[in-house]
A and B are shown apart, each in its own frame.
Chain A
Amino acid sequence: MRKVMTGHKAVAEAMRQIEPDVVAVYPITPQSEIAEYYADYVHDGIVHTELVPVESEHSAMSACVGAAAAGARVMTATSSQGLALLVEVLYIAAGLRLPIVMALANRALSAPINIHCDHSDAYLARDAGAFQIFCESAQEAYDYTLIAQRIAEHDMVRLPGIVNLDGFSLTHTSQVVEPLDDAVAKKFVGAFKAVHPLLDVKKPVTWGPFAMPDYYFELKRAQAAAMEEVPAAFLSVQKAFAKTSGRAYAGFVEKYRLDDADRALVVLGSTAGTAKVAVDALREKGEKVGLLKVWLYRPFPYCEVASALEKVKHVGVLDRAISFGAMGALYSDVATSLRRSQSRPALHNYIYGLGGRDITVEQLAEVLEGLGKVRPDEGLRYIGLRE
């Protein structure tokens, strides 16, 4: 049944249907309402989850790691500074192969302090070992929360996962969302299977042992192998979800009017929605423009991005964070994707929307129209910045 709800509520609804054994969470704008909705479910007896109201995000992820090692299905949610504080423990969750799914309400990192959207928090967690998915809409935030849970718990994966939704533009806006029926969602997610649970006292194990130079390297290589299993798991779970929900999800990226495009944008998150309107407006005028939206950000789908951009002549990659001293993070990934490509599209890197700066249809249309007229690879360009 179609309902109107915020991105918060969409994520909280998915969490309610997943009904993890433990949710350890600390509130932070713009994530707080996810924690609040879930606390209501617990208080009202709608879910049988142990809600741990911890004193910080570092504790939130620490409690999640402990509970997951004990053998529980675990979820959390955070944003910005909270992510920065818990990222130390996120690396541990990944190294211990604990399938903890976390909603990340994307918000700019301090300083200056700000509460609005950009992707500096997601980029901070880029190398932590959690897979990351970016969502365009509240519907996707709901859908990919369910999908992420199954990927994280996949036998070959067993890794933490982050579901990114843009702060305020997705978390606080009301949109039409069509959740699955509870029974259907629960069947889709399935029962949790603990691996080496600490609470199984008949089979005692040591979690988090020390590893010297003789084994650390091999353990990290094994962790990398788990990440290499994410794409296959993503496709199979996404396919199963498409069948269950009737929604047309297929692949690591969404190609929008890209087939005959000679100019295209590459974006993450809710800006894809704005970009689609810009693409449509230019297509009306006969311009061959398109959009590539990346769902799966980590592991990065190099081959699929390369093949999607194969026939495009000019590509504008939009990064919603500055990687100080380097080109944008998404740009660098797209550039790496194209290194073996036969056709070498001209690449342009644009920084936009920092600290919640609005990004408009007109601005994106202007970028698309300008592609091919400006010289490529001339460093960073900034959209909507006052000189």
Chain B
Amino acid sequence: MAASLKGWRELPIGGVVPGGSARDLNKTGSWRAERPMWNDEKCIQCLLCWFHCPDSSIVTHDQKVTGVDYDHCKGCGLCAAVCPKDAIGMVPEREGTCAK
């Protein structure tokens, strides 16, 4: 077991997790089988993907989509399903990992 893991005396009561701390420890993106590939040129910035993403993994800047947080995106494909312009495609993870 990794030395960085805490011992039982150091854990918060009842396993309560302080707000905003879980995302740094749990890279749920490792569960992903398919990777959403966002196409900047097709995107009309409707933000439907941002509204629907259950894991807050559509990254925005100044209210505009700039990419996907692959550390936490689980690859559910909702963003691709709701995109009206096919600006997001789901790619098998092996292929997506290799693709530029």
Contacts and interface: CB of A to CB of B under 8 A. Distances in A.
A158 B7 CA distance: 20
B3 interface: no
Contacts of B13: 97, 158, 195-196, 222
A200 to B, nearest CB: 10
Contacts of A215: 5-6, 11, 15
B16 A196 contact: yes
Contacts of B16: 96, 196, 205-207, 209
A219 B20 CA distance: 20
B74 to A, nearest CB: 13
Contacts of A206: 16-17, 19, 22
Interface residues of A, number: 23
Given A203-B19, A209-B22, A218-B6, A97 B11 contact: no
A325 interface: no
Given A214-B1, A215-B5, A218-B6, A205 B18 contact: yes
A211 interface: yes
Nearest to A206: B17
B14 A204 contact: no
A217 B5 CA distance: 12
B12 to A, nearest CB: 8
Nearest to B20: A204
Contacts of A209: 15-17, 22
Contacts of B20: 204
B14 A218 contact: no
B8 A218 contact: yes
A95 interface: yes
Contacts of A95: 14-15
- Please report whether the interface of chain A is mostly helix, strand, loop or mixed according to DSSP: loop
Interface string A178-208: 0000000000000000011000000111111
**Among B8, B12, B22, residue most surrounded by chain A Cβ atoms (within 10 Å):** B8
A12 interface: no
B9 interface: yes
A96 B14 CA distance: 4
Nearest to A223: B14
Nearest to A196: B16
Nearest to B15: A219
Interface in A34-63: none
A109 B20 CA distance: 45
A217 B15 CA distance: 11
Interface in B19-75: 19-20, 22
Interface string A62-80: 0000000000000000000
Nearest to A224: B8
B22 A221 contact: no
Nearest to B2: A214
A240 B1 CA distance: 45
B48 to A, nearest CB: 27
A205 B17 CA distance: 6
A225 interface: yes
Nearest to B5: A214
A97 B11 CA distance: 13
Contacts of B2: 214
**Among A95, A98, A219, residue most surrounded by chain B Cβ atoms (within 10 Å):** A219
Nearest to A219: B15
Contacts of B11: 215, 218-219, 222
Contacts of A225: 8-9
Contacts of A158: 13-14
Interface in A71-127: 95-98
Contacts of B17: 205-206, 209
A205 B16 CA distance: 7
26 contacts: A95-B15, A96-B15, A96-B16, A97-B13, A98-B14, A203-B18, A203-B19, A204-B20, A205-B17, A205-B18, A206-B16, A206-B17, A209-B15, A209-B17, A209-B22, A215-B5, A215-B11, A215-B15, A218-B8, A218-B11, A219-B11, A219-B15, A221-B8, A222-B9, A222-B13, A225-B9
Given A196-B14, A208-B15, 17 more contacts: A95-B15, A96-B15, A196-B12, A203-B19, A205-B16, A205-B17, A206-B19, A206-B22, A209-B22, A214-B1, A214-B2, A214-B5, A215-B5, A215-B15, A219-B15, A225-B8, A225-B9
10 smallest CB-CB distances across A and B, nearest first, come from A204-B19, A97-B14, A218-B8, A206-B17, A221-B8, A96-B14, A196-B16, A222-B8, A219-B15, A209-B17
